[in-house]
Structures are given as structure tokens and as C-alpha cells.
């Protein structure tokens, strides 16, 4: 009788089980490699921070701070919050560790989990994972374009298609103040038609009205003033510079005046990469410039910008589009045995194979030979050796290629590694396109 689970995973979380985790490895390998190609170095930060960090940086009028943070009290009336995003903690770490004194620009990336208490749905979880990049000390439009180019490169290398880059400028504090007044004047006659949250936003931060997900509020906002009409001369020139550099790089974009992003620290350039293949939660990457954040958190005035990608949404989009993932690593050699002496030899062979970098397994649960062969097939072993008394006596065994069924003699002595390596090399050349291409390019270089 099957027992009922006593405790299940929390709502809004996911398990990455062994049979699926290779998909995560595909994305993680690409983002790490791409970030390093653009000169970004990895940083790791705590899972929780003092609550005030997020209130000061993200903004006390945002949904994140007002509704979504996981916060606990500590001794001495301090409160700590599980990070709802990666930028604030990263900037705090850069300031606190004096990294801005090491030469500019400073470029860092991270892979981390974030936590927001919101309604769980496809593409929106309470614990989710982000790849993010932050660049500090570069104020030029080319820095914006270069950061966007990194995100564009990652999405391209993952094989994603039909991803549209949307860009906008929300100006600096000076020109945005005029825009805020224009928005208030536009929305005020509609105050009673707005949702309760937007009625509050109208007084505190009217830009947030453009980010509301309510269909009714979106309809009201359809003809609202647009920020690009209120940009000061410097901000307008900066935005034109961003567009010019994207053009030089051959990166297509759409200017979308409705993009403001959901966090208060953004200034000037904001952008999103959007897919239509995963439903309503289609933003797979979002970011922008936040020139005032370093100073807000106690550092010296420093221009900065960055972005974050939701890994779950990236994976959903890749699956929806049929993108290729790296192959799941499977057993190179399974050593089946019959009898006590053969079992000891299996341990010896597996240890030697592992020392040479091969993935090797042998029986650990006392199975018979037939059951061992079934297990080898289940774990998709590429090769199997069967060892019994006769094989030990002769010093040779049959190496079976599980894909073709072909069997060849292999030494159980000093020649084992050489014999197996030769067979494995030939198999990889005939079945793995990437391995064959690598060997061919290596041979060309040698010539």
C-alpha cells in the first residue's frame, strides 16, 4: 500500500530532480561562459540581508517591498529579509568590500535564488533563480548597449528565437519629476476607476501605474503621456547613443514607452527581452541603468547598470521552442561481476577508471548478473564488462558496446585503460558531433 506524503514541497517552489538538472547545467554553463567573455567576474552574496537594504534600494512603494518580501525579526529588533532580487545585495557587497577602489568599470555576475511571496503560477514562483550582471563605473551609452549585448548573446547561444528586445528611457530625477506631474494630471480624472493599489500609487509614485497588470488600468493608461517626450537634453542624447550602439552591433529593438520596470532604483535606460511562447509571464530578462543606487546605499556617486534573467522562464521558453540541451551525463562503463573475487576486481577496475576521468559503476546492492545488466541498461551505460571466474583466470573479458551490441576482448590487466580508452575514443568520434569537431579542429591546429 502506497503511503501518503506527510510533507510536500512548499507552494511556489520546484525540485530540480537528477533527470532534469542537466537542463539547468546547459543554461548555467552558457551564462557563465558568456559573462566571462564580456569581462564579468562571479560574485556570491548572502541569501538574506537587513530589510532596510531592500526598502532603500527597491523602493517602499513597490509591490516587492509592500507585499512580497519574506521578512523575519531578530534579536535586538533587527529584521532580515530573504533577497527578492540580486542587485541590492550585490551593490552592498561591492561597496562594503571596497571593490570600487580596484579600477573602473567593475563588472560582476551572479547565479542565485530569490524569494517573493506572490501568487504562484507558470513562470512565476516564490523561490526562483536568476542570472544577473552588474556594471559599475561606466556612464556612457556604449556601456548600456554592451550590457544589453551580453543578454542578447546569452539568449542567442541558448538557441532562443522570437525574443523581442524592448527599450525605453525613464530619464534622470530632474526630467522625471516633470513627467510625474504630467502623469498625475492625466490619471487624476480617472482616480476612482483605478484599482486600489494604483489609487495609492497615483500619489506616491505615478510611474508604477504604467506597470499595473490590471486590464482596466492598462486601458486607462493607453493614451498616457510618454517619458521620452519629457527627457532632458542629456537624457535624450544618452538614449540616442544607446540606440546608435545597438545598431552598430546589429541588435534589433523596439522602443516601448510603457516599460518602466518594477523597481524604484532605475534611471535612464530600461529594457526587457520578451517572449510570446510562455504565456503572460513572458519577460525572460529585464534590466537597466541605476546611477543613483550606489550613493543611496552609502557609496560615492557611481554610475551603474545591469540586468537579471529568470532561469525558470528561460527553461520554459527553451522547452516551448524545442531548443537543444546538453546531453545528460551517463555511465561510461558498468562492471558486472559474478562471485566474490570478481566483485573485488570490479571495485578495482571502477576505481582505476574514475581516476582517469571516466564515469564508472559496479554492483552495490548484491544483484545477480541478469539484474545487473538490466540496471546497466537503465542507467544507459555506454559499455559493460562482465567478470567471472573464467575472465579472472584468462585475464581478459568481453567489452560490450550497449548501443550496437558489438563485443571486443579487453585486458583486465595493465592494458585495460588503454584498451578501453581506444574503444571509447572511436565511439565518441562516431556518435558525438561536438567531440568530432573538436578533434578535427585540434588536428588542423597541429598542422
Domain boundary among 277, 298, 321: 321
Work out the angle at residue 114's Cα, subtended by the Cα atoms of residues 39 and 11, and round it to the nearest 5 degrees.
150
CB 180 within 8 A of CB 161: no
| Among 294, 321, 348, residue at a domain's last position | 321
| 396 contact partners, CB below 8 Å, separation of at least 6 | 409, 410, 411, 412
Distance of alpha carbon 242 from alpha carbon 269, whole angstroms: 8
Is residue 179 a part of any domain in this protein? Answer: no
Q: Does residue 377 surpass a pLDDT of 90?
A: yes
pLDDT tens-place string over residues 55-108: 888 876 677 777 789 898 877 778 999 999 999 999 999 999 999 999 999 999
**Does any domain span residue 303?**
yes
Q: Are residues 238 and 376 in the same domain?
A: no
Condensed to tens digits (0 to 9), the pLDDT of residues 208-231 reads 788 777 888 888 988 888 888 999
Looking at the structure, tell me whether residues 308 and 368 fall in a common domain. Answer: no
Strand order in the sheet with 360-362: 360-362, 333-337, 383-387, 396-401, 407-411
List the CATH number of the domain containing 401.
Answer: 3.40.50.800
The residue segments making up the domain with residue 129 are 21-172+232-321
Least Cα distance to 417 among 343, 344, 358 occurs for 358
In a domain, 215, yes or no: no
Other beta carbons within 10 angstroms of residue 78's beta carbon come to: 11
* pLDDT for 48 beyond 70: yes
Cβ atoms < 10 Å from Cβ of 316: 20
Contact indicator for 117, 70 with CB cutoff of 8 Å? yes
Label residue 189 left, alpha or beta by phi (over 0 means left) and psi (-120 to 50 means alpha).
alpha
Residue 423 CA from chain centroid, whole number: 37
Task: Compute the Cα dihedral for 36, 40, 41, 47 and give only its sign.
Answer: negative
Total residue count of the chain as it appears in this document: 447
Kindly report the pTM of this predicted structure.
0.86
pLDDT at residue 257 in the model:
87
Q: Is 282 in the same domain as 359?
A: no
- pLDDT greater than 80 at residue 264: no
Predicted confidence band of residue 442 (pLDDT cuts 50, 70, 90)? very low
Model pLDDT, residue 207: 81
Residues 305, 367: one domain? no
Q: What are the pLDDT digits (tens) for 406-439?
A: 999 999 988 898 889 888 888 877 776 665 565 5
**Radius of gyration of the chain from its Cα atoms, rounded to whole angstroms:** 28
Q: Please enumerate in sequence order all residues whose Cβ is within 8 A of that of 340, keeping only pairs 6 or more positions apart, or say none.
A: none
Q: Over 80: is that where the pLDDT of 287 sits?
A: yes
The rounded distance, in Å, linking the Cα atoms of 345 and 353 is 12
Q: Is residue 287 located within the same domain as residue 363? A: no
Asked if the structure places residue 52 within a domain, the reply is yes
Name the β-bridge partners of 106: 136
Do residues 277 and 363 share a domain? Answer: no
Q: Concatenate the DSSP letters of all residues of 334-356 into one string.
A: EEEE-SHHHHHHHHHHHHHHHHT
Handedness of CA 179, 181, 183, 186 (dihedral sign): negative
Whether the per-residue pLDDT at 310 is higher than 90: the answer is yes
Segment 234-240 mean pLDDT: 97
The confidence score (pLDDT) of residue 291 equals 94
Reported as a single tens digit per residue, the pLDDT across 379-401 is 999 999 999 999 999 999 999 99
Each residue's pLDDT tens digit, 123-157: 789 999 999 999 999 999 999 999 999 999 999 99
pLDDT score of 205? 80
**Domain at 314, CATH number:** 3.30.930.10
Looking at the structure of the chain, the number of domains it has is 2
Among the candidates 260, 294, 321, a domain finishes at 321
Quick one: 366 exposed, middle or buried, by C-beta within 10 A (0-12, 13-18, 19+)? Answer: exposed
Residue 245 lies in a domain: yes
pLDDT digit string, tens, across residues 327-356:
889 999 999 999 999 999 999 999 999 999
Q: Does one domain contain both 284 and 431? A: no
In a domain, 25, yes or no: yes
Q: What pLDDT shows up at residue 358? A: 94
Amino acid at each position: 500500500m502506497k503511503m501518503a506524503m506527510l510533507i510536500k514541497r512548499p507552494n511556489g517552489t520546484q525540485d530540480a530532480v537528477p533527470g532534469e538538472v542537466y537542463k539547468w547545467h546547459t543554461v548555467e554553463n552558457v551564462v557563465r561562459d558568456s559573462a566571462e567573455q564580456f569581462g564579468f567576474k562571479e560574485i556570491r552574496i548572502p541569501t538574506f540581508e537587513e530589510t532596510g537594504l531592500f526598502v532603500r534600494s527597491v523602493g517602499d512603494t513597490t509591490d516587492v517591498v509592500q507585499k512580497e518580501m519574506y521578512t523575519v525579526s531578530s534579536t535586538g529588533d533587527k529584521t532580515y529579509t530573504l533577497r527578492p532580487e540580486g542587485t541590492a545585495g550585490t551593490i552592498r557587497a561591492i561597496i562594503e568590500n571596497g571593490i570600487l577602489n580596484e579600477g573602473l568599470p567593475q563588472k560582476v555576475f551572479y547565479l542565485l535564488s530569490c524569494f517573493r511571496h506572490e501568487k504562484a503560477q507558470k513562470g512565476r514562483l516564490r523561490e526562483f533563480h536568476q542570472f544577473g550582471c552588474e556594471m559599475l563605473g561606466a556612464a556612457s551609452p556604449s556601456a548600456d548597449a554592451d550590457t544589453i549585448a551580453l543578454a542578447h548573446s546569452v539568449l542567442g547561444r541558448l538557441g532562443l528565437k522570437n525574443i523581442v528586445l524592448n527599450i525605453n528611457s525613464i530619464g534622470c530625477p530632474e526630467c522625471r519629476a516633470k513627467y510625474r506631474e504630467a502623469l498625475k494630471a492625466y490619471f487624476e480624472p480617472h482616480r476612482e476607476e483605478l484599482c486600489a493599489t494604483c489609487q495609492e500609487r497615483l500619489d506616491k509614485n505615478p510611474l508604477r501605474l504604467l506597470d499595473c497588470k490590471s486590464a482596466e488600468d492598462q486601458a486607462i493608461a493607453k493614451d498616457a503621456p510618454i517619458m521620452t517626450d519629457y527627457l532632458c537634453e542629456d537624457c535624450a542624447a544618452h538614449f540616442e547613443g544607446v540606440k546608435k550602439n545597438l545598431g552598430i552591433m546589429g541588435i534589433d529593438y523596439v522602443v516601448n514607452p510603457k516599460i518602466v520596470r518594477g523597481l524604484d532604483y532605475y534611471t535612464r535606460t530600461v529594457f526587457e527581452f520578451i517572449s510570446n511562447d510562455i504565456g503572460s509571464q513572458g519577460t525572460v530578462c529585464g534590466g537597466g541603468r541605476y546611477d543613483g543606487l550606489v550613493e543611496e546605499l552609502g557609496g560615492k556617486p557611481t554610475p551603474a547598470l545591469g540586468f537579471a534573467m529568470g532561469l525558470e522562464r528561460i527553461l520554459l521558453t527553451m522547452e516551448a521552442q524545442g531548443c537543444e540541451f546538453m546531453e545528460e551525463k551517463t555511465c561510461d562503463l558498468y562492471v558486472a561481476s559474478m562471485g566474490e573475487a570478481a566483485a573485488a576486481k570490479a571495485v578495482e577496475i571502477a576505481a582505476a577508471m574514475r581516476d582517469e576521468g571516466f564515469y564508472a559503476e559496479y554492483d552495490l546492492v548484491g544483484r545477480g548478473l541478469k539484474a545487473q545488466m538490466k540496471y546497466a541498461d537503465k542507467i544507459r551505460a555506454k559499455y559493460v564488462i562482465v567478470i567471472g571466474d573464467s575472465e579472472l583466470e584468462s585475464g581478459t573479458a568481453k567489452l560490450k558496446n550497449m548501443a550496437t551490441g558489438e563485443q571486443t576482448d579487453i585486458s583486465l590487466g595493465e592494458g585495460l585503460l588503454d584498451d578501453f580508452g581506444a574503444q571509447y575514443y572511436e565511439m565518441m568520434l562516431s556518435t558525438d558531433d561536438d567531440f568530432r569537431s573538436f578533434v578535427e579542429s585540434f588536428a588542423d591546429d597541429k598542422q
